[in-house]
């Protein structure tokens, strides 16, 4: 038996569909002091991502995505683990504006940071209750374009286990 996979980011985001709906006490910027001076991306990369997928290709993707994301967030005056959906969309637009294909932007950049925030959201050591990449994909065009590459490239149905 098989079931249809969701195609819209709204189907994955959970209770928070818009940034304005997130109570101030749960917004990521609330945790600024907890993340000051910590390289959360580096810890994730070394202890999660590369532990499971340590290949030359993955190391390259992790380096490119991590460097790009951290530089973008530094330019915006925010820690790389505490993005707003607007931060995400601005980054997605920058990626698309480079002239790279949507596939390249998705596979080398968006997916790596999406998985980073998914890890933060599911890890008890982090207070994340939402993935800002999903909220950006719901509410902004550039992020949605990259999200839709995720949908366009996969099979329509998945088997039940």
Per-residue tokens: 141: 């065009």
Backbone φ, ψ for residue 15 (5° rounding): -70, -30
Q: Are 13 and 138 in contact (CB under 8 A)?
A: yes
How confident is the model at residue 17, as a pLDDT? Answer: 74
Of the pLDDT bands very low, low, confident and very high (cuts 50, 70, 90), residue 90 is very high
Whether 87 is covered by a domain: the verdict is yes
Whether 17 is covered by a domain: the verdict is no
Whether 140 is covered by a domain: the verdict is yes
Render pLDDT for 1-35 as a digit per residue (tens, 0 to 9).
Answer: 454 566 677 666 667 778 888 888 888 999 999 99
How confident is the model at residue 161, as a pLDDT? Answer: 45
Whether 67 is covered by a domain: the verdict is yes
Render pLDDT for 122-132 as a digit per residue (tens, 0 to 9).
Answer: 999 999 998 99
Q: Are 9 and 138 in contact (CB under 8 A)?
A: yes
Q: Is the pLDDT of residue 59 over 60?
A: yes
Q: Are 91 and 140 in contact (CB under 8 A)?
A: no
Q: Provide the number of structural domains found in the chain.
A: 1
Burial (CB count <10 Å: 0-12, 13-18, 19+), residue 22: buried
The neighbour count for residue 155, using CB atoms within 10 Å, is: 8
Whether 42 is covered by a domain: the verdict is no
Residue ranges making up the domain that contains 111: 55-153
């Amino acid at each position: 038996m098989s079931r249809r996979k969701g195609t819209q980011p709204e189907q994955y985001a959970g209770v928070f569909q818009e940034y304005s709906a997130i109570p101030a006490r749960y917004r990521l910027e609330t945790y600024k002091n907890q993340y000051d001076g910590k390289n959360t991306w580096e810890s994730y990369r070394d202890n999660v991502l590369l532990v499971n997928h340590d290949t030359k290709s993955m190391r390259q993707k992790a380096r490119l995505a991590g460097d790009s994301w951290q530089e973008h967030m530094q330019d915006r005056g925010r820690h790389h683990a505490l993005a707003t959906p607007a931060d995400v969309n601005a980054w997605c637009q920058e990626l698309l504006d480079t002239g790279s294909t949507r596939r390249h932007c998705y596979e080398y950049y968006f997916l790596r940071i999406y998985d980073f925030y998914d890890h933060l959201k599911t890890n008890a050591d982090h207070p994340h209750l939402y993935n800002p990449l999903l909220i950006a994909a719901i509410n902004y065009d550039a992020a949605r374009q990259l999200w839709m590459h995720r949908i366009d490239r996969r099979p329509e149905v998945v088997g039940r286990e």
